[in-house]
Structure 1
Amino acid sequence: MPKNSKTPGLKLRGTVYYIRVRVPVAYADIEPRKEVFRSLDTSDPVVAQAKCANARLALRLEWDAARAAEKADVRAVFDSSTELLRSWGMTFSPMKDLLHGEIDQLLERIEKIANIDPSCATVPALLGAVDLPDHTLSEMAERMPELKKAEIRAKNARQRREWCGNFTRAAKDFAAEIGERTIMTISEQDATNYWEFWKKRAREDVTPNYANKQIRYVRQMIAAHFEDIRMPVSKRVNPFKGMSVSKNAYDSADNERSKLSLPEKWIRNRLVGGRILEPFNQEASDIAIVAAVCGCRASEIYDLPAEDIHLDDPIPHLSVRVVLEGPDVREIKGASSKRDIVLLGPALDAMRRHPKGFPRYRGKASYSGNVNNFLRENRLFPELPADSEGKFVISGTRHSFEDRMKVAKILNEERAFMMGHSIGKVRGRPVYGSKLALPLRALYQEMITFPTESWVPRPRAFLRKEIDRLLEEQGHLLE
């Protein structure tokens, strides 16, 4: 390569190549010089050309760090400094680690300083003297949506609000019980005290499951901070690791919060046949009917985008799936919840009244609470059994759906397929092979769907023979 290289700003001085960079106007307040010359520490023209882009990037990162330092922005100084270190193939290490580490690594960093203005904010970063960014739990709760953006991209407005609320509440509870702390100052004793607080609450007024969730949210915020500042895994000491509240042998709170199966006669004659929710509103009534007949979670119905409603299909059905794009993004409970829900009898009639879905409730959180309040205020729920310690809520129709499948002698794994439960958990081992086909789902659904004036399910014995026939057609040996 000739002395006057075609690479802009690359100059040969004696036997060493330099980069010449004109200072952008945007950095004129940080860098007093008009131009900066920097040695590339090589006389090899090919190496010099390769180093050129990195050298330009390093200068910009130094200026960014200097600006952050001028504003006393600890986070910005750390980010820009660590980016600069990465461009040099280095990572941030605290000074004590550098002093006790290999001497060659320390000397390499000192050599880099020789080419940098000693007053530059990146010099302390090279020597591990930059303060690590730190945040209170309250600040972390606000940052979690950004830090976990990829994980929550499928959540709709309601799901995102509930997700964020979990961390906000956990941060508030921690501050109220232990005091305001930053992530890096939460001690093992603080964690132990908070753990004891929730163990006591679990014996008095909350379930162990709820207590464990509150501990987990704090643990997740600490882990997210460590990941965010790129702390080496070996240095990440989460004081909440391994902490959980054991389930009590007898937990009265569990009984108080248990959801009872709604009685079969009430669902058939009042909710579906009598359509007792129509005075409240038509959408709520038909959501409840579909949920009761098909055993879905209510949110699986009211969050449906219009394109997932297939009323003109040879087997009318709803598709429960994750939606990542568009106005109707939504997340589902788990991978096993992805399934087709067959529409027959009253459920099909209800969906035909709403071929585009349920805009009144889509992406919102008002359905269950409002429906339960309406049923209670108007004394429309059935009478509780005399020995019951639970309560009736509209989501109890899902438990009733499983009860109907048991009466119809539908096997445990078949029930799991229909309800969107994990077959792996039912079996206690991984599941291989294809999922239940839509025609088979339709036959199982027909066994437990209520008749209407215009439609009556075929006898269960006939449906069982049809199931066997379809399975044999697929090559399965049933005897």
Structure 2
Amino acid sequence: MGRNRTRTDPDRYLTKRQGNFHYKRRVPVTIAHLDERAPHVRTSLKTDDRGLARRKRDLLEAADDALWASLITKGVTDPARRRYEAAVKRVEALDFTFHGAGYFEQPEAFDDLVDRLRHVLATGQQDQIMEPLLGAIEVPKMTVSKAFELYCDEIVADELVNKSQVQKDQWKKVKKRAISNFIRLVEDKPMEEITIDDAKKIYRHWLARIAPKEGKATAGASSGNRDLGNMRVLYEAYFKHMGDARRLNPFEGLGFSLKKKRSRPPIPTDWIRDTVMKPGNLATLNEEARGILLIMIETGARPSEICNLEPHAIRLSNKVPHLSIEPREDPDNPREIKTESSRRLVPLVGVALAAAQRHKAGFPLYRNRENDLSATLNKYLRANALLPTKSHTVYSFRHSFEDRMKEGGLEDELRRLLMGHTVDRPKYGSGGSLDWRRRELMKIVLPFDPSIV
């Protein structure tokens, strides 16, 4: 065992001594003078389980690859970064978490420090593992922009897996604004050098826009809170990832009071019935956008939920025709829905049923193009005077649907379920049959001329 060193050998670099597996690997001759462990790296894996030994071996192998690459490149890439990554992998292989040296200065870290020292003494490998285990490895400095790249590509990469490309772009766009504003107002400085004064500079920038001493406000509190919040999250996540979770966050506690949350006004029911749904008023809107709008009127579904419906989610052959609003789980073309409570079945009634029958295959023109859809609908509705005021948008139809359900006497839990809102109690049953939901919605269905579809 341990003689075959090809990458395909599942037991490469593994030897067994006194019942336990060890990792043993020759240091490349070209850098043997730079690695004090030469000619061989030896580490006890503290296990007799072959599967666990292989997993630990993989971490150590990756650590040594990174370390040796840093010694070979001599600055062509980032040697300090490679050495740090190698230290992290080496510590993880020993079943510990990497922490910077500052962590061990905290009284709360005393027990952890003792455990690590005991491990070092027990293995007799002080030269190989002392520095990584005790954080005596320089943590490479990284600028705000580079830290954001690391955040997206590594720290929260798992959160982006199920998002569509449009959703990923939108997610990054909001957070990148905070990064860009910080760089513009401060500089693209190393994360370690960000101070409370830097954070206050961002706070004062937004304060001047939210509550100017003279003139009108040019921004709302939510915009400032979003920037400060995104910087706070990035700072915390970055240093936790780098093994320094206890570092004080300069953005902590900075924010603005939200006295009143603006919400889109609903469109009056008579306006929808007599103006929007008046024959001819939607005639020049392209068919798919028109179909989405008509479905929205009688389902309250979000435009993005409707335009991304797959054909199998438009269930017209069921006893109760309905939409199944759900995430798209195609690994090549995934898409999240807003929250888990957004997963729901919504009966099709009135003009929504007629529009769905016309668009059985969904809306390919706007699939993964929800931003284009919203722009198209808002532009058309404004250009044709189909919105009551400048404050109304296409999203106001969703609020109108909720108001119509309330005025129609539909119970609160059903309204929440159909809107995709959280129900504030433990979930029991399915929330009522589709037939019952349809009967309730028929209480508020609007009359329509079939020609508008």
SS in 2 for 1:318: strand
In the alignment, which residue of structure 2 is the partner of 1:441?
Answer: 437
In the alignment, which residue of structure 2 is the partner of 1:202?
Answer: 210
> Displacement of 1:360 after TM fit?
0.9
Matched, 1:300 2:305: yes
> Displacement of 1:185 after TM fit?
1.6
In the alignment, which residue of structure 2 is the partner of 1:345?
Answer: 350
In the alignment, which residue of structure 1 is the partner of 2:135?
Answer: 128
Name the Cα RMSD after superposition: 3.9
1:332 to 334, 337, 340: 337
> Displacement of 1:105 after TM fit?
4.9
Matched, 1:84 2:97: no
Contact 1:304/1:357 (CA < 8 Å) preserved in 2? yes
Q: Equivalences for 1:199-278 in 2 at 5 Å?
A: 199-203=207-211, 204-231=217-244, 233=245, 235-248=246-259, 254=262, 258-274=263-279, 276-278=281-283
Matched, 1:138 2:133: no
> Displacement of 1:286 after TM fit?
0.6
Question: Counterparts of 1:322 and 1:292 in 2: how far apart (Å)?
Answer: 22
Q: TM-score, normalised by structure 1?
A: 0.75
2:385 to 380, 389, 392: 380
Q: Which amino acid aligns with 1:317?
A: H
> Displacement of 1:357 after TM fit?
0.7
Q: Equivalences for 1:274-289 in 2 at 5 Å?
A: 274=279, 276-289=281-294
Question: Counterparts of 1:7 and 1:302 in 2: how far apart (Å)?
Answer: 52
Q: TM-score, normalised by structure 2?
A: 0.79
The one-character-per-residue Cα deviations of 1:177-197 (angstroms, maximum 9, x if unpaired) are 233232222112222332233
Question: Counterparts of 2:226 and 2:92 in 1: how far apart (Å)?
Answer: 36
Structure 1 or 2, whichever has the larger Rg, is 1
In the alignment, which residue of structure 2 is the partner of 1:154?
Answer: 162
In the alignment, which residue of structure 2 is the partner of 1:65?
Answer: 67
Question: Counterparts of 2:328 and 2:147 in 1: how far apart (Å)?
Answer: 27
Contact 2:90/2:132 (CA < 8 Å) preserved in 1? no
Contact 1:198/1:245 (CA < 8 Å) preserved in 2? no
Question: Counterparts of 1:328 and 1:7 in 2: how far apart (Å)?
Answer: 37
The number of aligned residues is 420
Question: Counterparts of 1:374 and 1:164 in 2: how far apart (Å)?
Answer: 28
Question: Counterparts of 1:67 and 1:193 in 2: how far apart (Å)?
Answer: 40
Question: Counterparts of 2:413 and 2:53 in 1: how far apart (Å)?
Answer: 63
SS in 2 for 1:284: helix
Q: In structure 2, do the counterparts of structure 1 residues 264 and 244 end up closer, same or farther at CA, with 3 Å as the change threshold?
A: same
Q: Which amino acid aligns with 2:276?
A: L
Q: Which amino acid aligns with 1:174?
A: F
The one-character-per-residue Cα deviations of 1:134-164 (angstroms, maximum 9, x if unpaired) are 3322223333332212222222122111001
Structure 1: segments with no counterpart, 5+ residues: 1-5, 385-389, 425-429, 455-479
> Displacement of 1:38 after TM fit?
5.7
Contact 1:40/1:51 (CA < 8 Å) preserved in 2? no
SS in 2 for 1:360: helix
In the alignment, which residue of structure 1 is the partner of 2:8?
Answer: none
2:376 to 363, 370, 382: 370
Structure 2: segments with no counterpart, 5+ residues: 1-10, 212-216
> Displacement of 1:287 after TM fit?
0.4
Contact 1:276/1:285 (CA < 8 Å) preserved in 2? no
Question: Counterparts of 2:365 and 2:230 in 1: how far apart (Å)?
Answer: 31
Contact 2:327/2:337 (CA < 8 Å) preserved in 1? yes
Point out which structure has higher relative CO (alpha carbons under 8 A, 6+ apart). Answer: 2
The one-character-per-residue Cα deviations of 1:212-252 (angstroms, maximum 9, x if unpaired) are 11111111211221232233x4x232222233210246x8x
Q: Which amino acid aligns with 2:406?
A: K
In the alignment, which residue of structure 2 is the partner of 1:474?
Answer: none
> Displacement of 1:112 after TM fit?
7.0
Question: Counterparts of 1:9 and 1:264 in 2: how far apart (Å)?
Answer: 74
Quick check: 270-279 or 92-101, which moved more?
92-101
Question: Counterparts of 1:184 and 1:150 in 2: how far apart (Å)?
Answer: 25
Contact 1:23/1:31 (CA < 8 Å) preserved in 2? no
Contact 2:15/2:21 (CA < 8 Å) preserved in 1? yes
